[in-house]
A and B are shown apart, each in its own frame.
Chain A
């Protein structure tokens, strides 16, 4: 999906006004959902959300990858996939409570293979993010990052339970952190890295 090259369509105005202050404020804030990230279900859904926001993959691409990997029985159709993702405790109106180990494993493999398939885009975005942070510029001023941050915030607010005290900018650190994580998941041993991260977070 081709995304707009205009960064920061409706977000990041504060950042454009004062990039340095914006960065400091954003990064100084703790991750908006520290307790929620401890959940494997929430984390898997968030990584998929980051992939969706960055490269535009949808449920069809996820199902196709699952079929390619031989997980058609676990991820058979869009409803099934939706129910799996709805198991995240962050979701509005949680419709499914459980995610078994095989389903989690299937999602991990789908995520890492999709990340590998879109590795070039992920690397480009991370490179731009590094340069922006080095130069003290707002990521919203970089096309690929602005589009990603906006898409992520929109999707998050649309699908997740809203925190009354949080603002859209509060989601930027989470989005950037997920973007950086995708670089590691897209490389060799990415599945192992993601799986270990999920297990570790679920323990704390």
Chain B
């Protein structure tokens, strides 16, 4: 399931000016009186008209890549760039016009500048707008009407749309690093979810989600081995490369082990996970039968994973499904990796969801208008109510995806049950697992009363929402209310 980035485009016009704003609708729009966009790009054009206003054509040879461009026929002036540039332009024009209105003379007493932009009076009724970017200058002389229209179109956009400053939107690099780290740490949780998938998805959710702990991640010490392990614990050879390795077991091993390892602490999913490697590693496939268990005095629990290095000739890209049965006694399906609801433990076969999300987030900044729809993108959920169609579920998922920012150290998915009204309003939010409860008030999901953007239902809808540590959001019909 490829991630969907919904871009909204807003158009404003005054006189010969046309302004287009494109960005991602923020979930803050539900709380604000105006539309809130993030990663905003703008395209401002002054079209040809009969009025006075002349362009310094010699300095308008700007490429589109650098922000400004001039086509063969029209517009006579064009400026595009990120929202921060538009904010600078808006501020500058507003200051200039206000100074103009407050002056007693026919012409403004002085110009104003904002960043690389300047606006200065030329004669009695002309105003020169200059933008300097990378040693190139674009300029246009504006008539009074053009200046007034520019101020009007910018004011109109400012009154209608808010956009988040870039500093408030995590940069792709800033976002990718925690996600990568999180992915490395969350492989364990993914495997736990795979093992317990049938329990979670087919039955009532457990009251406690078990997740691995730093205790489970450390290598067994010689004392541990001497004391004996669980029924399926193997003894490390003394010359094992993993012996003495401070980082601990590979994530995949940890995950496979985590479901039944003693010391599991599901009550602290947000606790930092010490010793996890940053780079994700695929789980080591088990190619031989599990050796006979060896009792452990410490825990009495079983280890089912061989943490030794993969022998040569063993394929590393095809992890085997967990060998142990979950406590519920429900055997995971052999095709658990292919199941749409069971997380795959293989980052090679199924890359983490965060990767395409990051790419998608970058997309509007790289090519803002090629990928943007012509108008506000709206996902219209056709089916509502119980057993709602895929469209409705997808619309809810798309609406929730921007709000879910993975929590560092979170090892297990957060699961909630949402009841939505026909307009997309959140009628109820119920945590389905104990670890999910404390995160409910941290903005992981819209609060009761919030409205999910672009969600239109024909009837109230109850869905189960899984917020995965990888950043993925999964929405499924609530099994309790299915007909």
Contacts and interface: CB of A to CB of B under 8 A. Distances in A.
Interface of A: 27, 30-31, 34, 37, 123, 126-127, 129-131, 133-134, 173, 176-177, 180-181, 183-184, 186-189, 192-194, 196-197, 200-201
B313 to A, nearest CB: 72
A127 B156 contact: no
Contact of A197 (B102, B106, B144, B156): B102
Contacts of B155: 187-189, 192
> Can you list the 4 inter-chain pairs with the closest CB atoms, starting with the nearest?
A189-B155, A187-B152, A188-B156, A197-B101
B266 interface: no
Interface of B: 14, 51-52, 97-98, 100-102, 104-106, 123-125, 143-145, 148-149, 151-153, 155-156, 158-159
A183 to B, nearest CB: 4
A24 to B, nearest CB: 11
Given A30-B104, A37-B104, A130-B144, A188 B153 contact: yes
Contact of A193 (B98, B143, B158): B98
Given A130-B52, A130-B125, A134-B52, A184 B148 contact: yes
A177 to B, nearest CB: 6
Nearest to B103: A177
Contact of A200 (B51, B102, B145, B158): B102
9 contacts: A37-B104, A130-B125, A130-B143, A133-B124, A173-B105, A176-B106, A184-B151, A189-B159, A193-B101
B152 A131 contact: no
A196 B100 CA distance: 12
Contacts of A184: 97, 100-101, 148, 151
Contacts of A131: 52
A187 B106 contact: no
A90 to B, nearest CB: 14
B44 to A, nearest CB: 15
Given A187-B14, A188-B156, A197-B102, A129 B148 contact: no
Contacts of B104: 30-31, 34, 37, 177
Contacts of B156: 188-189
A187 B148 contact: yes
Contacts of B143: 127, 130
A145 B51 CA distance: 18
Given A27-B124, A187-B152, A180 B105 contact: no
A196 B98 contact: yes
Give the interface centre of B98, B104, B153, B158 by most chain A CB atoms within 10 Å: B104
Contacts of B152: 187-189
Contacts of A181: 101
A166 to B, nearest CB: 15
A184 B97 CA distance: 8
A187 B17 CA distance: 13
B145 A127 contact: yes
A78 B158 CA distance: 37
B144 A183 contact: yes
A177 B125 contact: no
A48 to B, nearest CB: 16
A27 B159 contact: no
B125 A129 contact: yes
Contacts of B145: 123, 126-127, 130, 183
Given A133-B125, A192-B155, A197-B98, 11 more contacts: A27-B106, A126-B145, A177-B104, A177-B105, A180-B125, A183-B145, A184-B100, A189-B155, A189-B158, A189-B159, A193-B101
Contacts of A197: 98, 101-102
A187 B158 CA distance: 14
Contacts of B149: 187
Contacts of A193: 97-98, 101, 151
Contacts of A173: 105-106
A176 B103 CA distance: 13
Contact of A180 (B144, B151, B158, B159): B144
Most buried by B among A30, A188, A189, A192: A188
Nearest to A126: B144
A201 B103 CA distance: 9
Residue with the highest number of chain B CB atoms closer than 10 Å, among A180, A187, A201: A187
Nearest to B107: A27
B106 A180 contact: yes
A174 to B, nearest CB: 9
Given A177-B105, A188-B156, A183 B148 contact: yes
A124 B421 CA distance: 51
Contacts of B124: 27, 133
With a 10 A CB-CB cut-off, give which of B97, B102, B148, B159 has the most chain A CB atoms.
Answer: B148
A192 to B, nearest CB: 8
A101 to B, nearest CB: 20
A190 to B, nearest CB: 8
A30 B100 CA distance: 15
Nearest to B124: A133
Contacts of A180: 106, 125, 144
B102 A201 contact: yes
A189 B52 contact: no
A134 B106 contact: no
Nearest to B160: A188
A176 to B, nearest CB: 6
A145 B328 CA distance: 89
Contacts of A134: 52, 125
A145 to B, nearest CB: 13
Contacts of B52: 130-131, 134
Give the one of A34, A123, A130, A194 with max B CB within 10 A. A130
